[in-house]
Amino acid sequence: MGAPADALAAAGQDLHRFWAAYREHFGHDVLTVREPLGRDQDVTALVWALAAEGRHPALEFEQVQGLGVPLLTNLFASRERVGRMLGGVAPAGIHAEYQARSRRMTPPREVSQGAVTEVVHGPDFDLAVLPTIRHFATDRGPYITNAVIVAEDGDAGIGNVSYHRSMLNGPQAVGTSLHSRGHLWRMLQAAQARGRPLPVAMVIGAHPLFMLAAAARLPYGVDERHLAGGLFGAPLDVVRTPRHGIAVPAHAEYVLEGEIDPEAKAEEGPFGEFTGYSSDRSTRSLLRVCTLMHRREPWLLDVVGGNSAEHLNLGRIPRESEMVEKLKERFPGVTAVHYPNSGTHFHAYVALKQSRPGEARQVMLGLLGWDAYLKTVVAVDADVDVTRDEDVLWALATHFQPHLDVVVVDGLPGSALDPSASGVGTTSRMGLDATRGPAFEGVRARIDEAAVERAAALLARTAPGAGR
C-alpha cells in the first residue's frame, strides 16, 4: 500500500475519520456542494447529471433543506474509489483483493461504547428526526436506501447482515421489504414458527467496508460481520443494543433497534429499484422500533437508488468477485468477468482464452447456473475489453452467428424485481458466444505503439491551455 492507502487504513472504522483522510488524499475525486438543495429528488438529479457527463465523484452536501445533517452519497459509484477502500488496488485487482480479504474472516470485537452510543433514545422518540430524502418522483416518499438490517438467532447461533429498502411508517415504525427472500426472510420464518417476532437492528451509515461486507452473498449461517473483519484486516468493533443485545458497528451513524413482526404489514413501495423501474413488489414487513441510537453529530450516508452506478456497484462487486474466483478455479482460461451497468444485475461479460472448442459454452453455462440474477452472458476473446460495452458489441457484430452461437435455458428461478419475469418468478437465460472460434479467419487492424505515442504527444501539445 502507498501513503494514501495507508492513511485510509489508519482512519480505522469511523466514517468521519475515513472521509477526512479520503478528502485529504483524493480531493480531486470529491465534489462538495455548499449551496442549499431540496430533499425531494435534487440529490438524485445531480448524480444523474454528473453521470451523463461520465463523472462519478463522491458527493458531500452541506445543506439539504429539512435534513439538519450533512449528506454523503455516491461513494461506490467509482471502481477506482472502491479499489482505494481495499488498500489502493487498481480496478482490475478488486476481485482478487476482495476474495483474499474475505477468506480472512475475523469475529467481531465487543467494546463497551462507541460513537453510536453517544445518544440513545428510548422509549419516547419520534423517527421523524431521522434524515431521509426522496430519490425519485415515483417513490412512495422519502426512503432509507442505506438500511442494513442485522439479525441474530440465538437458538441457532447465527447472525445475518443484509440491505433492505425502508421507509418511515410512523413515529416508531418502519416499513421494509425482504423481497430477496434471502437469509433474513428465512430467519423471520423461523421466528414465526416459534410464535414470536424477530429482534433486529437497522444500521444507517457506517464505514464503507462494513457496507461492502453487508452486500456479500454468503452461505446461510455465515456472518457478514466476520467478513467485515476480513475486509478491515482487524475485528469489527461492535456494541450491544440496549434491549436485545444485537452486536452493531460501534462507530455507526444511526442504529434502530426493534422487532420485525411476522404477522403485521406496513405500507411500503413503490421504490426506484436497480432495474431502473419503480417497483411495488414488496413483503411490506413492519419493523417496530424500541430504541434509536446515534452519534452526537451524525451524517446521512445515502446510497443512490435506481440503476445508479453506486447502487449497482455496491451490490455487484462482492458477487463479481465470487464468480470470478469460481470460474477461474474451474476454467483457467478465463481472464476477466464484468457486470456492465447497462445490464443492471442481469448481464455479464466474460473474456477467455479457449483451450478447446465449446469451452466458451461451458463457461457461460457455469456463470448462468451460479448467479441467480443473470439472464444473459456474452463470452468474448481475451483481447476484448469487457469493461467497455462498445468493445463487447463489436465482438458480437463480428464474431457471432445467431443460428450457431446462442444457448438458451428456460424455466429457471429469477429475480423477483425483474419486470420481464413470469408471474411465478421464473426466467429464461441466454449465453451468446462472441469468441472467434477455431475456424475464424481475420486479422485485426492495429496501429503501431509508436504512432499511438506520437498522437498522444500531439494532443497534449494542442490541448486547451497547453504552453501557457
- The string of pLDDT tens digits covering residues 24-50 is 999 999 999 999 999 999 999 999 999
The predicted pLDDT at position 426 comes to: 81
Q: What structural domains and CATH numbers belong to the chain?
A: 3-301 (2.30.110.10), 331-433 (3.40.1670.10)
Q: 87-101, 255-269, 434-448: lowest mean pLDDT where?
A: 434-448
Please compute the mean of the pLDDT values over residues 232-260 and round it to a whole number. Answer: 97
- The string of pLDDT tens digits covering residues 106-140 is 999 999 999 999 999 978 899 999 999 999 999 99
pLDDT of residue 419 exceeding 60, the answer is yes
pLDDT of residue 182 exceeding 60, the answer is yes
Angle, vertex CA 343, rays to CA 340 and CA 347, nearest 5: 85
Decide the pairing of beta strands 278-279 and 271-272: antiparallel
pLDDT of residue 6 exceeding 90, the answer is no
Please compute the mean of the pLDDT values over residues 265-287 and round it to a whole number. Answer: 89
- The string of pLDDT tens digits covering residues 438-452 is 888 888 889 999 999
Q: 28-42, 129-143, 263-277, 288-302: lowest mean pLDDT where?
A: 263-277
The predicted pLDDT at position 236 comes to: 98
